[in-house]
């Protein structure tokens, strides 16, 4: 006599889908960091792996290389599967050229611009290294003095993305070409910053004391004197 036993199967769902919209997508992998673990579907496991590689770099161990390197290893094994020798040489991690992105790219959100750069085979970094081949300067790039100093120190060519349509055309062409002049870095005048801060403090104090002062323009000398006397006494 044959007996049929029904065993309940518990499905594990992707935590990222549940957190995003409450949908139930079956998980295929688990991501564990310290004492925390997340169940992820194939889509989100690839996304989070990309985030970790962007933030921490590509590990040196062969089992943690990017997808592109894994594919090259698989192709190498496939090409030599008919060989009589047992040993197979695995390809090392793929080193991608790095790019500095400075300022806002016209027509693109912050994340979208950097994703477009990555899709062309570059890694986006915050500081230059030996693999940095380009600095992409958008609007406000002159305020990122550290990146401009890195570009000068390493001799990194500049791509001017502030020109209308320049970034979009480069993405469509599949390549960024340097050769534009670097923007002049903005030098912040410490005395001007201090004076601006003091003026705002005087305006805030004057309004609280019932004085009438304009939001812009010169502050009356009597108000300045009263503020300094009051703050000196308070001190």
Structural domain span for residue 227: 193-234
CATH of the domain at 136: 3.40.50.10190
- Final residue of a domain: which of 122, 141, 173? 173
Residue 139 is assigned to a structural domain of this protein: yes
Contact between 88 and 77 (Cβ < 8 Å): yes
Residue 2 is assigned to a structural domain of this protein: no
Residue 113 is assigned to a structural domain of this protein: yes
The DSSP call for residue 180 is: B
Residue 87 CB-half CA count within 13 A: 1
- To the question of pTM greater than 0.75 for the whole model, the response is no
Per-residue pLDDT of the chain (235 residues; tens, 9 = 90+): 666 655 565 677 887 767 777 777 887 888 888 777 878 888 777 777 777 776 666 665 444 444 444 454 455 455 545 554 445 455 566 788 999 999 999 989 989 999 999 999 999 998 888 899 999 999 999 988 889 988 888 889 999 999 999 999 999 999 998 999 999 888 755 565 566 678 888 989 999 988 888 877 778 888 888 888 888 766 5
Q: Of 137, 126, 127, 125, whose CA–CA distance to 185 is shortest?
A: 137
- DSSP three-state, residue 13: strand
Q: Count up the domains in the chain and report the number.
A: 3
Lookup: tokens for 72: 């090259």
The Cα 180–Cα 217 span in angstroms is 39
The Cα 57–Cα 51 span in angstroms is 10
Same domain? For 229 and 163 the reply is no
């Amino acid at each position: 006599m044959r007996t049929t036993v029904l065993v309940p199967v518990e499905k594990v769902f992707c935590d990222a889908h549940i957190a995003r919209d409450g949908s139930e997508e079956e998980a295929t992998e688990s991501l564990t960091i310290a004492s925390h673990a997340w169940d992820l579907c194939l889509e989100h496991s690839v996304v989070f792996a990309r985030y970790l590689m962007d933030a921490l770099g590509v590990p040196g161990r062969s089992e943690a290389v990017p997808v592109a390197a894994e594919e090259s290893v698989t192709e190498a094994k496939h090409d030599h599967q008919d060989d009589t020798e047992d040993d197979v040489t695995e390809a090392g991690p793929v080193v991608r050229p790095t790019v500095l992105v400075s300022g806002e790219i016209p027509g693109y959100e912050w994340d979208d611009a950097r994703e477009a750069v990555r899709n062309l085979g570059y890694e986006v970094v915050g500081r230059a290294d030996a693999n940095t081949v380009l600095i992409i300067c958008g609007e406000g790039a002159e305020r990122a003095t550290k990146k401009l100093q890195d570009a000068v120190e390493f001799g990194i060519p500049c791509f001017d993305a502030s020109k209308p349509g320049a970034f979009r055309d480069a993405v469509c062409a599949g390549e960024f070409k340097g050769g534009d002049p670097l923007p002049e870095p903005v030098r912040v005048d410490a005395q001007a910053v201090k004076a601006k801060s003091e003026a705002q403090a005087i305006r805030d104090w004057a309004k609280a004391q019932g004085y009438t002062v304009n939001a812009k323009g010169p502050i009356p000398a009597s108000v300045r004197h009263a503020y300094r006397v009051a703050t000196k006494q308070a001190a």
